[in-house]
Amino acid sequence: MFTSDADVVDHQVVIGECENGVKLTFHVNTHAPLAERRQVLFGTHATLEGEFGSGRLRLREVDRPVEETCTGDEHGGHGGADLAMGRDLAASLLDGAPFPVLAKAALEAGLAAMAADRAMVEGHVIDITDHYAELDRILP
């Protein structure tokens, strides 16, 4: 339960469409009795599901009845991702190791998140094509 006066989005659904016609949805619910954090990618040939609370990754191909599943054993904040990101950040800042996420990819994700929030507040579709084009111009 949040006890501060911070403005935190507790539920959101985002529908996106890429230039190539690929459509995506993103759902977030922060206060649900089922403590689950997962991402599912549905493709025309397979579905890939990552459940970050348990560390499970599951792949099911359309023409194969058998699922491939693997389970990690690192848990913690965001299914262990907080610890891993902290290690990566420390290695980058302290040891000069390359950070595993490219700056451009992080900026693209940030643009998408800000557009989703803006669409929620303004109540209409936000086209960020020009923003991505500008980012491509600056960081090819």
DSSP the chain: ---S------EEEEEEE-TTS-EEEEEEESS-SS---EEEEE-SSEEEEEETTTTEEEEEETT-SPEEEEE----SGGGGHHHHHHHHHHHHHHH-PPPSS-HHHHHHHHHHHHHHHHHHHHTS----HHHHHHHHHH--
**Is 7 exposed, middle or buried (CB count within 10 Å of its CB: 0-12, 13-18, 19+)?**
exposed
Q: What is the reported pLDDT for 86?
A: 86
pLDDT of residue 95: 93
Which of 101, 103, 138, 115 has its CA nearest to residue 18? 115
Q: What is the separation of C-alpha 102 from the centre of its chain, rounded to a whole number of angstroms?
A: 15
Residue 77: its pLDDT value, please? Answer: 61
What residues of the chain score a pLDDT lower than 50? none
- The fraction of the chain above a pLDDT of 90, given in percent, is 27
Q: How far apart are CA 128 and CA 113, in angstroms?
A: 11
The pLDDT of residue 27: 82
Place of tokens 């501060």: 4
Report the pLDDT value the prediction gives residue 75, as an integer from 0 to 100.
58
Q: Tell me the pTM.
A: 0.67
Please give the pLDDT value at position 115.
93
In which residue are the tokens 């348990």 written? 54
pLDDT of residue 2: 54
Per-residue confidence (pLDDT) for residue 97, from 0 to 100: 94
